[in-house]
Structures are given as C-alpha cells and as structure tokens.
C-alpha cells in the first residue's frame, strides 16, 4: 500500500508564483533578489497556515539557485535545486524554536554560522516559532543577528510577533502575512479537487473556506477529511454534517418567521436544531451573522463584503430587499444582549426562546413605544395651566382695557374677547381657572364666524369610480419616484405585491407580513397624495391587508438560483432553451 501524503504537503507551493494570497510579500522578495538588496535577517509573522515557512523555503531555494529565471524563480535543474528538493542540502538549516529554545541551542547555531558554505552562495537559517525562545536565548542571539557573516541569512517565522523582544524586531526586515481570502481558498481547493478527480459543489468549498478562517493548511486538512468521509464526492450537506455547522437555510427561514410573527414555527424549528446537537450560543452567533449579512446586502456596493458563494449572495440580496433596516438593527441589539445573558443564564433554552419572541413582536413593541411617546407629548401640550384667582382677575382686566383706536385696528377683537370671557367663565372652579389654549380660541372664533359662500372649490371631483389602466399607470409612475428617491424597501414590496382594484372604487394591497404593512403605512400619505394628483380624484380609498398564507405561497414559487430563474423564463418563452442548446451554454448553478 502506498504511503498517503496529505494535501497540505503534497500541494505545498514550490515557487513564489504558487503562493496564495501573499502577493505583497512574494513581489517584495523577488525584487530584493533581482536588485541584490537582500537583508541579513527577515521576520515572517502572521496567522497559522498562511505560508510563512513555505515562503522561507522558497526564498532559501531561489537565493542559492545557479540559474535564476527572469521571473525570479528557481530552475529546479542545478545541483543546488536538486539537493534542496531531495532534502540533502547543507546550505539550508531549519530550527524548531518550540523544542530548541534554550541558550545552548542558540550557541550551537551560532557555532555553525562561523563556517562558510562549501558550495553555493549563502547559508540560510530558518528558525520557526521564534517567539518560543527564552529571554536568555534571545539575548545570546542578538550580536550574531545584528552583524552576521556576509554569507549568512536568517529567516525567522512566528505567529505571535508581540512576544518577540524589541531588540530582535529592530534587527529584522518584517513581513506581515495576511489571512487568505475565502474566495482564494475556495478556488485553490477547486483546483486540487480537479487534480485529484474529486467531485465537489461550489457551496461546499465555500463552507470549508469560511470554516478555515483564512488558514489554507486548515482548509486542506478539512478537505482531506471530508473527501475520505464522502468517498470523493464532497456535497454541501456532507460538509455541514462533517464539520457540525448549522445550515444557512435555517436562518433564512427564521427571518421569515420573525417578519410573519410566527412564534410557533420559531419554537418548533429551534427544537429541531437542539435535537441535532447544536448549542444555543452557536445558534445566536449564526443568527447575528445572518442579520449582519442582510444589513450588508442592503447596498449593492457592500454586497461584495459577503464571503459566500454567488448563489447564497443572491439569496441574501433577495431577502434583504423586503426586510426593513429598523428590524435588522433592533434585532442585532436583541441578539447581542441575549448572547451576554446566555453565559450566566440557568435556563439557557428559555433565554434563546425569549429572544426569538422579542424578534417576532419587534414591530408591535416599537409601534407601542412610539404611540406612547406621542400620547405623552400631546398630554404635555394640552395640559391645563392652573393659576390663582388674583392672577386671573389681572388677566381679565388687562383684556378689557382696549382703546377705541385698538378696537378699530384689530378687526374681530370683539369675537376674541367674548371667546376668552366665555372660556374663563366655563372653566371656573373653587380653586382656580384653566387658561385656554390657542386651539380653543381659534375653534370658538371659527364657530361664531359666518359662512363665506364666496370661496371656490378648485379640487376636481370626477366621480368615485377608478379606471384600472389609469391606476396601473399611476403606480408605475410612483414606483419610478421611489426608485429615484432610493426608497428601495417600499418599491420592492409594491413590485412583489402589486395593488389591485376592487369594485372599481377601492385600491387594495395584500402583503405577506406585518412589517411590510407597516412600511406601506408609513408611506401611505405620500402614496394617496400622488394618486389623487395623477387620477384627479378628491378621495382615494387605499386599503392595506396582511395575508401570511399568500406570502408563503409566493416565496415557494419565487425562483432563487440562476437555474431556477432560467427555467422560470423558459416557461414564458420556450425558445430560450433552444437558444441555450444552440450556443451550448450552461447556467451558473
């Protein structure tokens, strides 16, 4: 039986060109070799599994290559390259500082540095996990690192730069390695799968790349494990099962449940998640990430921040179109508080379920708070001011002192004076009087004012019935105004749930969730005013209703993936399939 070699070793880059996601480092090293500006000491620092030791080995190989190519790569044909490939070179020394971290180990290394290379140009010393050296070892290494022989080059690698003493840092040329992007990792795994003849799904590779958290070595380790588990057929579900990850589809469903205020579905689905062995804190963390992704998807420019596949990115964009920003922001706040309380809660399940209940009735809570603030504000405005009898007598006497010139100048002052006296007389009590508000005075004067029959009504009233074609045209114009004003949430709702005309009199909009209805109610005044102006009507009866069953049916019928959208269009125009076959095109699944 052949010895199995893990992918992390089998496909380890042997050239600068093959290093993934570290172009800023590899290009700098190539330019330094081309211009003969190599430093005497390098420090490669960054997260695990991003290529620090790999770049150190490639650099050591290229430095001693006898026939460096124009692209600054090793030739793999000279004696130095062949001995390096066979691990038989005497010019490259590797030291693991995690297990050789004493002063004696460093002194032995310094003793080796004294001898010049027998073949080749340079002697390269690669010290991995250099932060594990003791302080005494660091101090013993300082002088040699600052003034090494001209033929010696030191390459230090570490994952924890902050643990290295400043005197070492000042003597090195520092290179910071980045975490590898999810897209780069997924693409690299796809290339390996092609070479190994392993069947994969694009979404499955993206899940592995996200789980690796920027470490390519971890991604390759998971890739090997899942390929063995599936027998060479890596699917989305197999990755979720093997890595114990909660499916994204759960969070899409929960968001719809929250918007539909369906507590029953939330509790039953959460019970299903617990039955699969997932903890509540993992669920809360995943739900917070989902709401954050929906918030990012609100703008096409920030949509690229999602490190997901194209299919999943399209689903985020579609759900975010009908999810209000206020819900997402308040929901994130609720989940954040629940995560803090979860750690100290005795009944952890109840803590999560309580958070879901709050999310289901989030809009009702906000609406009740707003209405309470409005009532409190109105109460302050209309609250009567009580003063003493002595002050009231002064007010009445001051109102009665009007000269003849003032009476002639102020037309209508007699009505105002009588209104004040009537109000004071009607509100007297044993302890004080109520000063009338400005609205009370206006109402009293308007009541005594004779009707003005000379006022002309300029607003048109052309019957009560509405024309359906004119209504559709008016709404199309209104949608254009919403798009111009960048009010995409309302425009998307009206596209999904177009208005209909009932009995030629009532405009009816049936939406799927309470949140959709609330958004349309906020826009109701502007909508009615626009329709009045367009249709030349004095009265427009516009009703907004909620029908959750219709929303579920629409969500089931609505195509999400590119292949589903193609099939949906092909049903309307069968010639599309013929065009696809003639041009030998394939849908992006």
Question: What is the residue whose two structure tokens read 């074609």?
Answer: 469
Angstrom CA distances, 342 to 280, 388, 433, 560, stand at 8, 57, 56, 35
Q: Above 70 in pLDDT, residue 395? A: no
Three-state DSSP state, 156: strand
**Token pair in block for residue 30:** 């190539």
User: Sorting pLDDT into bands at 50, 70 and 90, what band is 551?
Assistant: low
Q: What mean pLDDT comes out for the span 213-219?
A: 89
Rounded-to-5 percentages of helix, strand, coil across the chain: 60, 10, 30
What's the alpha-carbon Rg for the chain, to the nearest Å?
A: 38
pLDDT tens-digit map of 410-427: 444 444 444 444 444 444
Per-residue model confidence (pLDDT) at position 57? 92
User: Sorting pLDDT into bands at 50, 70 and 90, what band is 567?
Assistant: confident
Q: What percent of the chain has pLDDT over 90?
A: 28
DSSP 170-204: TTSEEEEPPPPPHHHHHHHHHHHHHHHT-EE-HHH
**376: Cα within 13 Å, side-chain hemisphere:** 6
Q: Who's near 356: CB < 8 A, 6+ residues apart? A: 254, 258, 263, 266, 267, 270
Q: Above 70 in pLDDT, residue 355? A: yes
Three-state DSSP state, 445: helix
Q: In b/e form, how buried is each residue of 311-320, taking b as 16+ CB within 10 angstroms?
A: bbbbbbbbbb
Contact 47, 215 (CB under 8 A): yes
**Token pair in block for residue 32:** 């330094």
Per-residue model confidence (pLDDT) at position 356? 93
Contact 290, 251 (CB under 8 A): yes
- State the angle between helix axes of 488-496 and 514-522 in degrees (0 to 180), rounded to the nearest 10: 120
Report the chain's mean pLDDT, rounded to a whole number: 79
Instruction: To the nearest 10°, report the CA torsion of 321, 323, 327, 332.
Output: -80
Q: What mean pLDDT comes out for the span 365-394?
A: 50
Indicate the range of 310-314, 342-346, 559-563 predicted with least confidence: 559-563
Q: What is the DSSP letter of 99?
A: T
User: Sorting pLDDT into bands at 50, 70 and 90, what band is 311?
Assistant: confident
Angstrom CA distances, 526 to 31, 72, 225, 361, 511, stand at 63, 66, 59, 27, 18
User: Sorting pLDDT into bands at 50, 70 and 90, what band is 542?
Assistant: confident
Residue 1: other Cβ atoms inside 10 A: 3
Total-model pTM? 0.58
Q: What mean pLDDT comes out for the span 37-49?
A: 91
User: Sorting pLDDT into bands at 50, 70 and 90, what band is 560?
Assistant: low
Residue ranges of E strands in 213-358: 233-234
Per-residue model confidence (pLDDT) at position 398? 45
Three-state DSSP state, 72: coil
Reading phi first (left if > 0) and then psi (alpha if -120 to 50, else beta), residue 340 is in alpha
Contact 537, 531 (CB under 8 A): yes
More reliable by pLDDT, 2 or 6: 6
Per-residue model confidence (pLDDT) at position 523? 84
Per-residue model confidence (pLDDT) at position 453? 34
More reliable by pLDDT, 445 or 322: 322
Element (H, E) at 404: helix 404-409
Q: What mean pLDDT comes out for the span 152-181?
A: 92
- State the angle between helix axes of 438-448 and 413-426 in degrees (0 to 180), rounded to the nearest 10: 120
User: Sorting pLDDT into bands at 50, 70 and 90, what band is 32?
Assistant: very high
User: Sorting pLDDT into bands at 50, 70 and 90, what band is 559?
Assistant: low
More reliable by pLDDT, 371 or 536: 536
248-360 folds as Zinc Finger, Delta Prime; domain 3 (1.20.272)
Q: According to the per-residue pLDDT averaged within each range, which of 289-298, 401-410, 450-459, 508-517 is highest?
A: 289-298
Q: In b/e form, how buried is each residue of 567-576, taking b as 16+ CB within 10 angstroms?
A: eeeeeeeeee
Per-residue model confidence (pLDDT) at position 415? 46
Per-residue model confidence (pLDDT) at position 52? 92
Per-residue model confidence (pLDDT) at position 175? 94
- For the beta sheet containing 152-158, the strands, ordered from the edge strand earlier in sequence to the opposite edge, are 92-96, 123-128, 152-158, 41-45, 173-176
CA distance 113 to 123: 8
Measure the N-to-C terminal CA separation of the chain; round to a whole number of Å: 38
Q: Above 50 in pLDDT, residue 403? A: no
Q: What percent of the chain has pLDDT over 70?
A: 80
Indicate the range of 70-79, 220-229, 426-435 predicted with least confidence: 426-435
Question: What is the residue whose two structure tokens read 């994952």?
Answer: 159
Contact 178, 50 (CB under 8 A): yes
CA distance 226 to 240: 10
Instruction: To the nearest 10°, report the CA torsion of 171, 177, 178, 183.
Output: 170
**Token pair in block for residue 217:** 């070595």
Q: What mean pLDDT comes out for the span 554-572?
A: 69
pLDDT tens-digit map of 481-526: 888 887 877 888 888 888 888 777 788 888 878 878 888 888 888 8
Q: According to the per-residue pLDDT averaged within each range, which of 165-169, 364-368, 483-487, 564-568 is highest?
A: 165-169
- For the beta sheet containing 506-511, the strands, ordered from the edge strand earlier in sequence to the opposite edge, are 500-502, 506-511, 541-546
Q: Above 60 in pLDDT, residue 386? A: no
Q: What mean pLDDT comes out for the span 214-224?
A: 90
Q: Does 7-176 carry CATH code 3.40.50.300?
A: yes
Per-residue model confidence (pLDDT) at position 532? 82
CA distance 214 to 52: 13
Architecture per CATH, domain 182-243, reads as Orthogonal Bundle (1.10)
Domain ranges of the chain: 7-176, 182-243, 248-360, 386-448, 468-557
Which is nearest to 339 in space by CA: 352, 350, 330?
352
Q: What mean pLDDT comes out for the span 312-336?
A: 90
Per-residue model confidence (pLDDT) at position 267? 93
Per-residue model confidence (pLDDT) at position 561? 66
CA distance 262 to 92: 66
């Amino acid at each position: 039986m052949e010895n199995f070699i893990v992918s992390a070793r089998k496909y380890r880059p042997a050239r600068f060109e093959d290093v993934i996601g570290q172009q800023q480092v590899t290009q700098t090293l190539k330019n330094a070799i081309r211009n003969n500006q190599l430093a005497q000491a390098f420090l490669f620092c960054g997260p695990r599994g991003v290529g620090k030791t790999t770049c150190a080995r490639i650099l050591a190989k290229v430095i001693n290559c006898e026939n460096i190519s124009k692209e600054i790569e090793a030739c793999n044909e000279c004696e130095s390259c062949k001995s390096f490939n066979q691990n038989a070179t005497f010019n490259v020394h590797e030291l693991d500082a995690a297990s050789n971290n004493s002063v004696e180990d460093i002194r032995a290394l310094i003793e080796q540095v004294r001898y010049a290379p027998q073949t080749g140009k340079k002697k390269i010393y690669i010290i991995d996990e250099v932060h594990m050296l003791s302080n005494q070892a660091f101090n013993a290494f300082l002088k040699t690192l600052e003034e090494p022989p001209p033929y010696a080059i030191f390459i230090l690698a570490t994952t924890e730069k902050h643990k290295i003493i400043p005197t070492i840092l000042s003597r090195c040329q520092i290179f910071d390695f980045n975490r590898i992007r999810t897209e780069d990792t997924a693409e690299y795994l796809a290339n390996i799968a092609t070479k190994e003849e392993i069947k994969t799904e694009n979404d499955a590779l993206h899940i592995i790349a996200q789980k690796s958290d920027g470490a390519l070595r971890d991604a390759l380790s998971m890739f090997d494990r899942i390929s063995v588990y599936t027998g060479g057929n890596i699917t989305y579900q197999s990755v979720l099962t093997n890595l114990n990850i909660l499916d994204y589809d759960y969070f899409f469903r929960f968001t719809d449940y929250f918007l539909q205020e369906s507590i029953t579905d939330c509790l039953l689905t959460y019970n299903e998640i617990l039955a699969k062995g997932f903890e509540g804190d993992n669920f809360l963390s995943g739900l917070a990430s989902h709401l954050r992704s929906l918030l990012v998807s609100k703008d096409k420019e920030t949509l690229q921040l999602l490190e997901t596949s194209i299919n999943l990115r399209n689903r985020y964009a579609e759900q975010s179109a009908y999810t209000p920003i206020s819900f997402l922001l308040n929901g994130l706040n609720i989940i954040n508080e629940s995560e803090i309380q979860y750690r100290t809660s005795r009944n952890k399940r109840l803590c999560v379920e309580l958070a879901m209940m709050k999310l289901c009735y989030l809009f009702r809570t906000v609406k009740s708070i707003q209405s309470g603030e409005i009532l409190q504000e109105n109460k302050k405005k209309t609250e009567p001011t009580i003063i003493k009898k002595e002050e009231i007598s002064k007010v009445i006497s001051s109102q009665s002192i009007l000269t003849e010139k003032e009476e002639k100048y102020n037309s209508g002052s007699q009505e105002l004076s009588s209104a004040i006296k009537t109000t004071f007389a009607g509100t007297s009590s044993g302890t004080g009087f109520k000063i009338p508000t400005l609205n009370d005075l206006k109402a009293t004067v308007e009541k005594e004012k004779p009707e003005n029959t000379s006022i002309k009504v300029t607003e048109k009233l052309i019957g009560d019935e509405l024309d359906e074609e004119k209504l559709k045209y008016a709404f199309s114009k209104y949608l254009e105004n919403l798009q111009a004003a960048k009010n995409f949430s309302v425009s998307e709702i009206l596209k999904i749930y177009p208005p209909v005309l009932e009995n030629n009199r009532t405009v009816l909009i049936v939406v799927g969730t309470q949140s959709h209805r609330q958004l349309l109610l906020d826009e109701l005044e502007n909508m009615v005013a626009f329709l009045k102006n367009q249709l030349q009507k004095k009265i427009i009866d516009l009703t907004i209703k909620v029908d959750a069953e219709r929303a579920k049916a629409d969500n089931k019928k609505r195509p999400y993936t590119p292949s589903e959208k193609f099939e949906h269009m092909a049903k309307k125009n069968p010639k599309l399939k013929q065009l696809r076959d003639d041009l030998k095109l394939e849908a992006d699944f």
